Amino acid sequence: MRLLKLVPENTNIQFLKWRNIAMAISFLMIAASIALVAVRGLNLGVDFVGGQMVRVTFKSAPNLDDLRSRVDALRLGDTTIQQFGGPNEVTIRTPLPKGGEGAANDAATALKEAVQAGYPDAKFGSVDAVSGKVSGELFRTGAYAMLLAMVAISIYIWFRFEWQFGLGALFALCHDVALTFGFFALTQLEFDLNIVAAILTIIGYSLNDTIVVYDRIRENLRKYRKMEIIPILDLSVNETLARTLMTSLTMIVALVSLLIWGPEVIFGFTAAMLLGIFVGTYSSIYMAAPILVWARVGPHSFVPNEGGPVAGAERLGRTAPIREP
């Protein structure tokens, strides 16, 4: 019985042929993501802005204008009402009132009574409340965690490989994180601590994919001392393509299942992870690898292995007389 092969053994796709176009598209996407975050902003959850948030489920889609007028009549402050998930589900976010826990409970009770006066069938979920001080600390901690993870990963790759590889990994991670932020600015899905956890997971996944490609590149640089750098990169990506696709497809199947049948509370997390799988796979090929060409990485960057095979060079059929160091 033959095992299923996603990629034939002799696959020879010239990925690096399109590196300049791919890099241009990537930088445009990064710029667009930054612009979206700057113009539209993120729909920060209670974890980051503080206040109270109540999820309400109706039997039929409510009139949002009527619902907003009922809530505004309570004079609770700057209130936000948004549909969450389906048209029958709404989140109501209000500032945290002064006066401690007692005042917060009174405000939540008044809110429920006002909504049920017009919609008796409304069902209320749990009330989430976070103080402004705690939310600010959570925001700073989340930002520091993402920044520290990216810097630490780049330093690790620098020491494991060469500085050019660390630079390529950093560019790939910045690409993945920027596009994730841009996605949430575009869709206005709630950005909370779950999304920070998703971004950290995306960073880890993207790093793992990049290291697999980089490890094969380093191995081939040592083997094929007379090959040009671009054929070596193409060869390395092709050799790791089956593993990359199998890992990505396995993750995608699980995440799509969660996206369709999973609870609403993890919808944003699942969407972020699904996006991260696509951009992480893309960046390991079209961000991490092309940086090595621009950084002039070549066979001279590593100590050669004696008696290295030439099968890969023969398969690509492209060699160049690079002088031995």
Q: What was the pLDDT predicted at 240?
A: 87
The predicted model gives 268-296 an average pLDDT of 88
Q: In this structure, is residue 233 part of a structural domain?
A: yes
Q: What was the pLDDT predicted at 107?
A: 77
Residue type, 63: N
Please indicate, yes or no, whether residues 74 and 101 belong to a single structural domain of this protein.
Answer: yes
244 or 160, higher pLDDT: 244
Beta strands in 10-149 (DSSP E): 43-44, 51-57, 80-83, 89-94, 123-130
Please indicate, yes or no, whether residues 296 and 265 belong to a single structural domain of this protein.
Answer: yes
Question: Is residue 198 within 8 Å of residue 178, measured between CB atoms?
Answer: no
Angle between helices 163-187 and 267-286 (to 10 degrees): 140
- Kindly state the DSSP code that residue 285 receives in the 8-state scheme: H
Give the residue numbers spanning the domain of 75: 51-130
pLDDT tens digits for 186-238? Answer: 998 888 888 888 988 888 888 888 888 888 888 888 888 778 888 888 888 88
Average model confidence (pLDDT) across the chain: 79
CATH of the domain at 110: 3.30.70.3400
Q: In this structure, is residue 5 part of a structural domain?
A: no
pLDDT tens digits for 142-189? Answer: 788 888 887 887 787 777 777 888 888 888 888 999 999 999 999 988
| Residue 226: strand, helix, or coil | coil
Name the nearest CA neighbour of 125 among 57, 23, 34, 199: 57
Please indicate, yes or no, whether residues 106 and 234 belong to a single structural domain of this protein.
Answer: no
pLDDT tens digits for 52-91? Answer: 778 888 888 787 888 888 878 877 776 777 777 677 888 8
CA separation for the pair 323, 162 (Å, rounded): 21
Residue 232 is encoded by which pair of tokens? 């070596």
First vs last Cα of the chain: how many Å apart? Answer: 48
Please indicate, yes or no, whether residues 222 and 267 belong to a single structural domain of this protein.
Answer: yes
Q: Answer yes or no: is pLDDT of 1 > 50.
A: no
Residue 251 is encoded by which pair of tokens? 């993750």
Tell me how many domains the chain contains: 2
Domain boundary among the residues 95, 130, 165 is at 130
Phi, psi dihedrals of residue 70, rounded to the nearest 5°: -65, -40
Please indicate, yes or no, whether residues 99 and 177 belong to a single structural domain of this protein.
Answer: no
